[in-house]
A and B are shown apart, each in its own frame.
Chain A
Amino acid sequence: MSGISGRGPVVALVGGATAGRGAKPANRFVQKAAPLLRMVARRVGIAVPLLVLVSFSVFAISSISTADPARAILGEGATPQSVAQLRHQLGLDQSFLHRYWDWLSGVAHGGLGNSWYGNIPVLTKISQGLPTTISLVLAAMILTAVVGIPLGLYAGMRRGGKVDTIANSLAAIGLAMPEFWVALVLILLLSVKLRVLPGTGALTLSGDPWQAARHLVIPVVAIALPQICALYRQTRASAAIVAQQDYVRTARAGGISEWSLLRTRVAKNALVAPVTLLGLQLGRMIGIAAVVESVYGLHGIGSIAVQAALTSDLPVVLGVVLVTAAVVMAANLLTDIATYYLAPKARNS
Chain B
Amino acid sequence: MNRTADVGALSIGGLEISLVQGGRPVPVVTGVNLSVNKKEVLGLVGESGSGKSLTSLAATRLLDPRVVRTTAGSVKLFGKELLTLPEAEMRRVRGKEIGIIFQDPMTSLDPAFTIGYQLSCGLRWHTDLTRAAARNRVLELLGLVGIGDPRRRVDQYPHQLSGGTRQRVMIAMAIACEPKVLIADEPTTALDATTQAQILELIASLATTMEMATVITTHDLGVVADVCDRVAVMYAGQIVECATTDELFYRPKHPYTERLLQSLPGVRAGRLQGIPGQPPRSGRFPQGCRFAPRCPYARPGCSADDPELTRLQTDHAARCLREAELELTGVGA
Contacts and interface: CB of A to CB of B under 8 A. Distances in A.
Contacts of A245: 107
B122 interface: yes
A255 B92 contact: yes
B159 A247 contact: no
Contacts of B173: 250, 254
A249 B101 CA distance: 11
Interface stretch (A74-82, A282-290, A337-345): A337-345
Given A253-B94, A255-B96, A342-B112, A246 B107 contact: yes
Given A254-B95, A256-B121, A344-B157, A249 B108 contact: yes
A88 interface: no
B93 A255 contact: yes
B95 A255 contact: yes
A255 B111 contact: no
A251 B109 CA distance: 9
Contacts of B157: 344-345
A248 B113 CA distance: 12
B60 interface: yes
Interface of B: 60, 62, 66, 91-96, 100, 102, 104, 107-113, 118, 121-122, 125-126, 157, 159, 170, 173-174, 176
Given A250-B108, A342-B112, 9 more contacts: A246-B107, A250-B110, A250-B173, A256-B95, A260-B125, A269-B110, A343-B111, A343-B112, A344-B111
Q: Which 5 A-B pairs have CB atoms at the shortest separation, nearest pair first?
A: A255-B95, A254-B122, A254-B95, A246-B107, A247-B110
Contacts of B91: 255-257
A265 interface: yes
A252 interface: yes
A62 B133 CA distance: 66
Contact of A250 (B66, B159, B170): B170
B107 A247 contact: yes
A268 interface: yes
Contacts of B94: 252-255
Contacts of B93: 255
B120 to A, nearest CB: 11
Contacts of A246: 102, 104, 107-108
Given A247-B107, A247-B108, A345-B157, A253 B125 contact: no
Interface of A, helix, strand, loop or mixed by DSSP: helix
A251 B111 contact: no
A345 B111 contact: yes
Contacts of B170: 250
B141 to A, nearest CB: 13
Contacts of B102: 246, 249-250, 253
A247 B108 CA distance: 4
Nearest to A270: B112
Which of the listed residues A245, A247, A343, A345 has the most CB atoms from chain B within 10 Å of its own CB?
A: A247
13 contacts: A248-B110, A249-B62, A250-B173, A252-B94, A253-B100, A254-B173, A255-B122, A255-B125, A260-B125, A344-B111, A344-B112, A345-B111, A345-B159
Given A246-B102, A250-B102, A269-B112, A256 B122 contact: yes
A342 B126 CA distance: 26
A251 B121 contact: yes
Nearest to A257: B91
A248 B91 CA distance: 14
Given A245-B107, A342-B112, A343-B112, A254 B62 contact: no
Contacts of A343: 111-112
A251 B118 CA distance: 8
Contacts of B113: 265, 268
B190 to A, nearest CB: 11
A249 B61 CA distance: 11
Contacts of A251: 110, 118, 121
A174 B203 CA distance: 54
Contacts of B174: 253
Contacts of B109: 247, 250
Contacts of B159: 344-345
Interface centre among A160, A255, A342 (most CB of B within 10 A): A255
Interface in A274-308: none
B110 A265 contact: yes
A247 B158 CA distance: 11
B111 A253 contact: no
A255 B97 CA distance: 10
A247 B62 contact: no
B123 to A, nearest CB: 9
Given A344-B157, A345-B159, A253 B62 contact: yes
Nearest to A347: B157
Given A253-B95, A255-B94, A344-B157, A247 B122 contact: no
A93 B273 CA distance: 93
Contacts of B92: 255
A307 B159 CA distance: 53
A256 B126 CA distance: 9
Nearest to A272: B112
A300 B113 CA distance: 42
Nearest to B122: A254
Contacts of B125: 254-256, 260
A251 B122 CA distance: 8
B9 to A, nearest CB: 18
Nearest to A260: B125
Nearest to A247: B110
Contacts of A250: 100, 102, 108-110, 118, 170, 173
Interface hub of B62, B95, B110, B170 (most chain A Cβ within 10 A): B110
Contacts of A344: 111-112, 157, 159
Contacts of B126: 255
Contacts of A268: 112-113
A160 B20 CA distance: 16
Contacts of A160: 66
A343 B159 CA distance: 11
A326 B173 CA distance: 47
Contacts of A254: 94-95, 121-122, 125, 173, 176
